[in-house]
């Protein structure tokens, strides 16, 4: 931690040097329903038009000629028996996706932070690290995830290297970490660069080293700001875990494909789609809650 | 209140325009009359054709040997390699069968058009942009809920292939396969054979297509691959270890898959039945497929 004489105690959980920093504009989410003087009336109009919109849309879909004809959309995509048959089988394999994305997310958080910090290192001496980090994010944001998975998943075992596992799950996780770290590093960097330079200057003037300023002043604020976009990337990663099917591993998507191909019925896809939505909703709500809590704490001006 | 009505009206109008149902004319399937030839039947059902005076056949791309062989014709989207062929070539069992079938239905070679589709498209609901799919599709009751199948044109069973050094070599019983890592391409009955007959202790691996399964077989990621019997002989692996018995009594058959209610199917059925009776199908089989029956059957 550097020179003990210059150690400055920074209380844990403090958002930054200045806890009463003004709330960034636009951070209060707009209301879903209209407000204003005749707020009540607006609410009713909103509810009514929403209900009508969806009712009309539903009626049009259900009454379309392809909906309920033989082998129509209803039977091919929304077959109740097929749904009951496929959902447990899909869930059974979906745990593999859960494992893959949970492990990958933890690794991405760490690796991307390393990349972002590398990118923010000041001084001429760190140029190679900055260039490396920059080149990495450019390269891996440019590569389609499925190609990285295919190249690693089929290519690495073919090399027959000693000591490296040949498991699909291993290489899939590596591929996802490589690709998503590039995105998340940029998210981190955006967060770091959004912190006003005066914060770093203030921290330095209080006697913190560059490292300490980054660790105790910049990053805590930066990471808080980027929680919603981080969640974006994690949801993306969770969905891309389905690409592992390409390697021959039976996970959620492959299981759905197998049943679909056997039965000539697309209901398993709908079942899998539902599973993805169901796991996404609580995560989104959690992040909303987290951001809200953070806002409230800042507004009350202290450490809750 | 007027505002509300206008808004609602606009919403309704927009949705209606966006989703206006296409007029559908469903022509009931009529069976070919006994005194019509298959070609006359096809002429009578010309309105059921996807493209005028053209027989449009869908199959996969890549199209694998020995079902599709020959060299790529110019401008073909199919690339012929040592494992794959071009449906336009007329070589390989299904390609040759397609042109023989077209001939019976009164189409010239030039009137046959091929369409490369992913497997799922052959049974997706809605109008098809082809007349039928010919892609080694096994007939099943469950599948027949989504499509109409022709009568079977090929009796098929499944076989196991492996490379030298694989623990699968020399295995003669289904029980002996239980602890091996087996693979199969997606959408095939090969996978069902693994899960139903072998009931392996190791989870089988399922690939997008045969090519990827063979890649992992070569890499040693899997011990053996299950494919249909004729494919097993096509040099995809070193050895055909054995063939699987037909369990459950019902012979697995390949059929052509039509959109439900397509009237052309009755003509195709008539043509296939004739080709079966006069030995055309047998001759095609002799010409294009390995008929070696000395391969042991797993017990």
Listing DSSP states for chain A in one string gives ---GGG-----TT--SS-TTPPPPTT-SPPPSS--STTHHHHHHHHHHHHHHHHHHHHHHHHHSHHHHSTT-HHHHH--HHHHHHHHHHHHHHHHHHHHHHHHHHHHHHHHHHHHHHHHH--SGGGHHHHHHHHHHHHHHHHS-HHHHHHHHHHHHHHHT-TTS---HHHHHHHHHHHHHHHHHHHHHHHHHHHS-HHHHHHHHHTT--HHHIIIIIIHHHHHHHTHHHHHHHHHHHHHHGGGGGGGT---HHHHHHHHHHHHT--HHHHHHHHHHHHHHHHHHHHHHHHHHHHHHHHHTTS--
Has residue B75 got a pLDDT over 70?
A: yes
- Averaged pLDDT for residues A75-98: 93
More confident residue, A296 or A69: A296
Beta strands B205-207 and B182-185, pairing class = parallel
Chain B: nearest CA to A162, how far in angstroms? 14
CA distance B139 to B155: 10
pTM (2 d.p.): 0.77
Chain B: nearest CA to A35, how far in angstroms? 16
Instruction: Decide if B24 and A66 are in contact by the 8 Å CB cutoff.
Output: yes
- Averaged pLDDT for residues B85-112: 94
- Residue A31: predicted pLDDT: 57
Has residue A261 got a pLDDT over 50?
A: yes
Residue A251 token pair:
């996970």
Instruction: Decide if A257 and B186 are in contact by the 8 Å CB cutoff.
Output: yes
Is the peptide bond prior to B235 cis by the omega test (within 30 degrees of 0)?
A: no
Instruction: Decide if B125 and A73 are in contact by the 8 Å CB cutoff.
Output: yes
- Residue B2: predicted pLDDT: 59
pLDDT tens string A10-66: 444 444 444 444 545 544 555 555 555 567 888 899 999 999 999 999 988 888 877
- pLDDT level of residue A159 (50, 70, 90 thresholds): confident
Residues of A with CB under 8 A from a CB of B: 45, 48-49, 52-53, 56-57, 60-61, 63-66, 69-73, 75-77, 154, 157-158, 160, 166, 245-246, 248-250, 254, 257-258, 260-266
Query: In chain A, what's the furthest Cα-to-Cα distance?
Result: 81
Sort out which chain A residues have CB atoms less than 8 A from B15's CB and list them. Answer: 53, 56-57, 60
- pLDDT level of residue B268 (50, 70, 90 thresholds): very high
Beta bridge partners of B160: B226, B242
Beta bridge partners of B257: B133, B149
Above pLDDT 90, what percent of chain B? 53
Instruction: Decide if B212 and A248 are in contact by the 8 Å CB cutoff.
Output: yes
Dihedral-angle region of residue A36 (phi above 0 means left; psi in -120 to 50 means alpha; beta otherwise): left
CA nearest to B21 within chain A: A64
Has residue B18 got a pLDDT over 90?
A: no
Has residue B122 got a pLDDT over 50?
A: yes
Of A72, A246, A264, the CB nearest to B147: A264
- Averaged pLDDT for residues A178-185: 96
Instruction: Decide if B124 and A76 are in contact by the 8 Å CB cutoff.
Output: yes
What interhelical angle do A39-63 and B2-18 show, nearest 10? 30
CA nearest to A45 within chain B: B4
Instruction: Decide if B11 and A60 are in contact by the 8 Å CB cutoff.
Output: no
CA nearest to A159 within chain B: B219
Instruction: Decide if B221 and A60 are in contact by the 8 Å CB cutoff.
Output: no
CA nearest to B185 within chain A: A248
Has residue A74 got a pLDDT over 90?
A: no
CA distance B139 to B119: 14
CA nearest to A46 within chain B: B4
Of A57, A246, A261, the CB nearest to B119: A261
Integer distance in angstroms from the first to the last C-alpha of chain A? 27
pLDDT tens string B125-160: 878 899 999 999 999 888 998 999 999 999 998 999
CA distance A234 to A185: 13
Q: Give chain A's mean pLDDT.
A: 85
Dihedral-angle region of residue B248 (phi above 0 means left; psi in -120 to 50 means alpha; beta otherwise): left
Place of tokens 């048959």: A85
Which of A23-37, B30-44, B210-224 has the largest mean confidence? B210-224
- Averaged pLDDT for residues B273-277: 94
Of A66, A166, A263, the CB nearest to B125: A66
Of A69, A248, A254, the CB nearest to B216: A248
pLDDT tens string B162-216: 999 999 998 999 999 999 999 999 888 889 899 989 999 999 999 988 888 998 8
Which residues, 6+ apart, have CB-to-CB distance to A127 below 8 Å?
none
More confident residue, A106 or B31: A106
- pLDDT level of residue B9 (50, 70, 90 thresholds): low
CA nearest to B142 within chain A: A263
- Residue B26: predicted pLDDT: 41
- Averaged pLDDT for residues A192-219: 92
Q: How many residues does chain B have?
A: 299
- pLDDT level of residue B234 (50, 70, 90 thresholds): confident
CA nearest to B203 within chain A: A250
Sort out which chain B residues have CB atoms less than 8 A from A71's CB and list them. Answer: 125, 145-147, 260
- Residue B167: predicted pLDDT: 93
- Residue B7: predicted pLDDT: 57
- Residue B25: predicted pLDDT: 41
CA distance A154 to B188: 22
- Residue B241: predicted pLDDT: 93
CA distance A102 to A238: 8
CA distance B201 to B186: 20
Instruction: Decide if B19 and A64 are in contact by the 8 Å CB cutoff.
Output: yes
Has residue A265 got a pLDDT over 70?
A: yes
Of B146, B187, B260, the CB nearest to A265: B146
- Residue A49: predicted pLDDT: 92
Interface test with A, best of B5, B146, B193 (most A CBs within 10 A): B146
Chain B: nearest CA to A145, how far in angstroms? 17
């Amino acid at each position: 931690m550097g020179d003990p004489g210059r150690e400055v105690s920074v209380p844990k959980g403090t958002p930054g040097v200045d806890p009463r920093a003004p709330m960034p504009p636009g951070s209060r989410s707009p209301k879903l329903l209209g407000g204003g003087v005749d707020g009540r009336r607006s609410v009713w109009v909103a509810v009514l038009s929403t209900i009508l919109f969806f009712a009309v849309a539903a009626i049009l879909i259900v009454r379309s000629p392809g909906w309920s004809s033989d082998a129509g959309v209803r039977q091919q995509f929304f077959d109740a028996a097929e749904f009951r048959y496929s959902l447990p089988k899909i869930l059974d394999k979906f745990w593999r996706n859960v494992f893959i994305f949970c492990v990958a997310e933890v690794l991405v958080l760490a690796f991307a932070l390393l990349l972002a910090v590398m990118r923010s290192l000041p001084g001429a001496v760190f140029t190679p690290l900055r260039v490396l980090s920059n080149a990495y994010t450019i390269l891996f944001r440019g590569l389609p995830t499925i190609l990285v998975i295919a190249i690693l998943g089929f290519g690495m075992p073919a090399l027959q290297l000693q000591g490296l596992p040949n498991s699909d799950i291993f290489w899939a996780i590596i591929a996802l970490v490589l690709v998503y770290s590039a995105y998340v590093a940029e998210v981190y960097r955006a967060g770091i660069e959004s912190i006003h330079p005066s914060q770093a200057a203030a921290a330095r003037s209080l006697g913190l080293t560059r490292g300490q300023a980054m660790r105790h002043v910049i990053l805590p604020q930066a990471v808080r700001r980027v929680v919603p976009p981080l969640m974006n990337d994690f949801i993306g990663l969770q969905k891309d875990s389905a690409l592992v099917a390409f390697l021959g591993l039976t996970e959620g998507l492959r299981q759905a494909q197998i049943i679909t191909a056997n039965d000539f019925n697309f209901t398993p896809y709908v079942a899998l789609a539902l599973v993805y939505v169901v796991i996404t909703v609580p995560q989104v709500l959690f992040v909303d809650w987290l951001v809200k809590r953070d806002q409230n704490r800042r507004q009350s001006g202290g450490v809750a | 209140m007027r505002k509300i009505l206008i808004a609602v009206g606009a919403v309704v109008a927009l949705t209606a325009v966006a989703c206006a149902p296409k007029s559908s004319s469903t022509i009931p399937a009529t069976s070919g009359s006994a005194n019509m030839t298959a070609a006359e039947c096809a002429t009578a059902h010309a309105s059921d054709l996807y493209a005028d005076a053209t027989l449009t056949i869908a199959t996969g791309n890549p199209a694998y040997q020995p079902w599709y062989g020959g060299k790529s014709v110019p401008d073909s989207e199919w690339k012929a390699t040592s494992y794959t062929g071009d449906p336009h070539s007329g070589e390989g069992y299904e390609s040759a069968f397609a042109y023989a079938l077209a001939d019976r239905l009164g189409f010239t070679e030039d009137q046959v058009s091929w369409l490369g589709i992913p497997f799922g498209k052959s049974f997706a609901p809605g109008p098809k942009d082809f007349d039928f799919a010919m892609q080694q599709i096994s007939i099943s009751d469950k599948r027949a809920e989504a499509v109409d199948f022709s009568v079977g044109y090929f009796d098929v069973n499944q076989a196991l292939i492996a490379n030298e050094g694989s623990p699968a070599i020399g295995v003669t019983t289904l029980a002996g396969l239980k602890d091996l890592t087996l693979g199969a391409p997606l959408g095939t009955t090969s996978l069902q054979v693994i899960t139903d007959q072998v009931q392996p202790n190791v989870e089988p691996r399922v690939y997008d297509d045969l090519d990827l399964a063979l890649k992992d077989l070569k890499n040693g990621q899997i011990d053996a691959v299950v494919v249909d019997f004729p494919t097993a002989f096509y040099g995809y692996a070193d050895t055909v270890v054995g063939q699987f018995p037909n369990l459950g009594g019902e012979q697995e058959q390949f059929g052509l898959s039509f959109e439900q209610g397509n009237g052309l199917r009755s003509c195709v059925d008539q043509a296939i039945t004739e080709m079966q009776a006069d030995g055309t199908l047998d001759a095609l089989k002799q010409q294009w497929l390995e008929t070696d029956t000395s391969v042991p059957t797993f017990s």
